[in-house]
Structure 1
Amino acid sequence: MAISRTVPWAELDTIFFDAGNTFLSMDFDRVAAAASSLGVECSGRQLERAEAAARPVLSAALAERRTTEGGGAFRFYLRATLERLPASRRDGVELDAVASGLAERLFSPGRNDRLWNRRLPGRREALERIRALGYRMVVVSNSDGSMARTLTRIGMDQLFDGLVDSTVVGFEKPDSRIFEVALDLVDARPERTVHIGDLYAADVIGAWAAGVHAVLLDPWADWPEMDCPKVADLDELASLLPGPPGRA
C-alpha cells in the first residue's frame, strides 16, 4: 500500500506508539553497574547517550537480522552501545566479551520488565496531553510478552486504548501484520493513523508497509537526513497535533 511520507496531521484520529525509548527505557544505572564490574567504567547517563547513538546501526542490522528480540540481538545491541561510549571508557577492553557478559546478566526471556522499567521524564505528561485531545492511542511494541506488566508497573496502562505485544500476537515489527492487528483492535483506518518509534527499519518501514503514517524519534539528531518526519520527543509530537480530530 502506497503511503505519503508527509503526515496529514489534521486528518489523524489514531496514534500508535513504540514503547522502548519512546516513553520507556531500560535501567541504564543497572547496566552501567554491570558494565563497570566487567571493566567498562561508565555512568548510566553515558550509556543512555551511547544507546541513542547506536540506534541507526541497530536499524541497519535489522534489515538483515529481521528481529530485535532474542539473546543474539540483545548482545549486538549492547556491543553497538558500548562502541559509542567515550573512548576513555572503553580503551583496552574486549567489547565482545563485555557485551556477552552483560547479556548473560541482563537478558531474561519473558521478563524484559525487570530491565525495561524506567519511565522517561516528561513522557507521561506528553501522553496525557495527546490523550486529552481525543486521539485513540495504542502501544505497538516488539517485546517478549511482558509489556502489559511493564505498563502496569510504571503506572501507564490506563493511558492507552490498547496494546499489541509482538510475542503475544506472533508478529514483530517491521512485519505489517502487527500494525494491522493494532488497527483492528481500535477499528482504525491506516490513512488516519500515525506510528512513532525510535528504529527506522522496524517502526517506519513497518508502519509504511501497513499503510500507516510514520514519525521517527530522534532526540539527539543521531540520524542523518531521512525520508520520513522526525521529532525529538513526544512533546514535539504533541505540538504538531491540531486538536480533537473528526471521526468518520
Structure 2
Amino acid sequence: MNRSSGDSTPTPAWKGIFFDVGGTLLYPDPATIGEVAGAVLGTAFSPADLLAAVQFGSVTIDEAMAAGQPIGTWWPLYIGGVLRHLGFSFQAGDPPLEECVRRLRERHRQRNLWSFLLPGTHQVLEQLTSEGYLLGVISNSDGQVRQQLIEAGLAPFFRFILDSHYVGHEKPDPAIFRLALRAARLQPAEVLYIGDIVHIDAHGARGVGMGALILDPLDRRANLWTTRLPDLTRLPDWLASSSSRS
C-alpha cells in the first residue's frame, strides 16, 4: 500500500491522533455474524473468512457512496456486503438478507455487536501514549461508544470520546471534527484522523484540515485514497517514517 502522505498533511507535525471506532478500533464480532448467517443460510464459515467479511462490510459502504447511491438505513447495505464476501449475493428486501439483519440487530440490542478487538490494538495505543500523542475518538454511534470502549479496555487511552448521538453531529459534518479540535486544544494541521470509510472519515477530516489515514485491510480502496495502512499495528512505524520525511 502507498505509505506516502499524499492525501494527508504534506509535512506532518501531528500532536494528536483521533480515531473512528467501528471498523477501526472495534469490529463486528465475526463469531456472532457467523452463527447468525450460518443459521439463516444453512452453512458454516471459517474464522478467517468471517473476519475478512466483516472488514469488507465498510468497503460496500464506500462503494455505494462513491457511486452516489443513497445510503439510507445502512444495516442492510453493510450486512449485504458481509454476505457478498462470503459468497451470497442478495438485493435489499431479499428474505435471507432481511432475516440476517433482523437477527443481528436483535443481538446488537442485547449486546453491542461491535465488540471484536484485533490483536495488538492495546499495544499500539500504549505506544502512542508513551510517545506523547494526545488520543481522542470521534464516532458516529448510537450512544454506546463510550461503554464499548470501556468494555474493550480502551477508554483510558483517550482524552475525549465524542459520540454523534450526544453531540448532535455526524461525520462527515465538519462540526463534529471541530468539537474534537476544541476538546484537544489543537489546530487541524496538528491532528491525524484514522478511520475506515473514505467518504465519511477521510473526507470529513480533510474537510477541516486534518490529516487522514484509512485502514484498508483488504486493499480495496486504492482508487479512493492513497494514504492507507492494512491495520493499526503498522501505525507506529508509519508515523516514524512520516516524521523522518517532514
TM-score tier, shorter chain, comes to 0.7 to 0.9
Structure 2 CA distance for partners of 1:169 and 1:17, relative to 1, 3 Å: same
Question: Which residue number corresponds to residue 26 of structure 1?
Answer: 28
- Deviations 1:11-68 (CA, angstroms, capped at 9, x unpaired): 110111111121211111011111111115232432221232343321132454366x
User: Which secondary structure state, in structure 2, belongs to the residue aligned with residue 215 of structure 1?
Assistant: strand
Contact 1:127–1:234 (CA<8 Å) still a contact in 2? no
| Bigger mean CA deviation after superposition, 30-39 or 91-100 | 91-100
User: Which secondary structure state, in structure 1, belongs to the residue aligned with residue 143 of structure 2?
Assistant: coil
Question: Which residue number corresponds to residue 119 of structure 1?
Answer: 117
- Deviations 1:200-221 (CA, angstroms, capped at 9, x unpaired): 0111011111211101111121
Instruction: Select the residue among 184, 187, 203 that pairs with 1:189.
Output: 187
Contact 1:9–1:242 (CA<8 Å) still a contact in 2? no
User: Which secondary structure state, in structure 2, belongs to the residue aligned with residue 65 of structure 1?
Assistant: coil
Contact 1:142–1:173 (CA<8 Å) still a contact in 2? yes
The aligned runs of 1:1-248 (5 Å cut-off) are 5-8=7-10, 10-43=12-45, 44-62=47-65, 64-65=69-70, 72-85=73-86, 87=87, 90=88, 96-107=94-105, 111=109, 114-242=112-240
Separation of aligned partners in 1, 2:184 and 2:108 = 26
Tell me the matched-pair count: 235
Structure 2 CA distance for partners of 1:111 and 1:8, relative to 1, 3 Å: farther
| Bigger mean CA deviation after superposition, 48-57 or 107-116 | 107-116
Q: CA RMSD in A?
A: 2.8
Gaps of 5+ in 1: none
Contact 1:113–1:146 (CA<8 Å) still a contact in 2? no
Separation of aligned partners in 2, 1:60 and 1:80 = 10
Separation of aligned partners in 2, 1:108 and 1:144 = 15
Structure 2 CA distance for partners of 1:57 and 1:114, relative to 1, 3 Å: closer
Separation of aligned partners in 1, 2:124 and 2:138 = 18
Separation of aligned partners in 2, 1:171 and 1:112 = 26
- Deviations 1:53-107 (CA, angstroms, capped at 9, x unpaired): 343321132454366xxxx21111101211121x3xx389999322211221222
Identity, % of aligned positions: 28
Contact 1:218–1:231 (CA<8 Å) still a contact in 2? yes
TM-score when scaled to structure 2?
Answer: 0.85
Contact 1:23–1:124 (CA<8 Å) still a contact in 2? no
Separation of aligned partners in 2, 1:61 and 1:107 = 21
Gaps of 5+ in 2: 1-5
Structure 2 CA distance for partners of 1:8 and 1:136, relative to 1, 3 Å: farther
Contact 1:142–1:172 (CA<8 Å) still a contact in 2? yes
TM-score when scaled to structure 1?
Answer: 0.84
